Amino acid sequence: MNCDAAIFDLDGTILDSLWVWEDISKDFLSKKGKDIPVTYIQELCSKSFQEAAEYTIRLFMLSETSQEVISEWNRLALIEYKHNIKLKKYCLPYLQYLKEEGKKLAIATSLPRILCDSCLISNGIYDMFDVIRSTDEIGRGKNFPDIFEKISDELKVPLSRTLFFDDSLSALVTAKKLGMKVVGVYDKYYASDKTEIIKVADGYIESWENVWNLL
């Protein structure tokens, strides 16, 4: 797929990390006597951290403020993102290839910058990206166009010349409506959306090993 820039999601796309949020959610909510619905992790990943905290408070009728929820999530997640979360297998060679080809690279993530930056630095790829943006900075999740339009402006590359990778159906739908070429990335936490993602996306990969078939 011909492009001048590529935007990547982090959790579940280039990072093998969604298991962390399942563990954190179980830890955080079990202490409050709450059971986690099957779709809860998917719902969180489509939202900014602020939106996710507000959603969690409403869903489980918690007494905490959104900032208290976010602070606890960050505390539980920081060690994992700093030390234990790794890139998905076969992802790095593709990122290196795009850089060698002179493509601009960006991150569009729902993670707070403290988690995002810590993980990118620990995996040695922070400097590969020309722009890194969190939905927390933007104020709305990837089911809205704001973060994509902001990144496009900063990259100085039109969205029509940009390739977007994500494991989330809602993010891919938004990006597609904006005129981007979109590629769905398999992650087990979004396995139930696979059929719909394939319908929406311009390409779909089960593993980063398969990304070369899209060239």
DSSP-derived 3-state class of residue 9: coil
Domain identity same for 69 and 102: no
Give the H/E segment covering residue 6.
strand 5-8
CA-closest candidate to residue 163, choices 31, 7, 22: 7
* pLDDT at site 122: 97
Give the pTM. 0.90
Domain containing residue 76:
18-84
Give the pLDDT of residue 39: 85
**β-pair type (181-185, 162-166):** parallel
Nearest partner of 87 among 58, 118, 123, judged by Cα: 123
CATH code at 25?
Answer: 1.10.150
Residue that terminates a domain, selected from 84, 116, 134: 84
Q: What is the pLDDT of residue 49?
A: 86
Are 11 and 33 in the same domain? no
Question: Do both 77 and 113 map to the same domain?
Answer: no
The reply to whether 77 and 182 lie within a common domain is no
102 and 113 inside one domain: yes
181's CB contacts (< 8 A; 6+ apart) are 1, 3, 162, 163, 164, 202, 203
Three-state DSSP state, 98: helix
Split into its structural domains, the chain has a count of 2
Which residues of the chain fall below pLDDT 70?
none
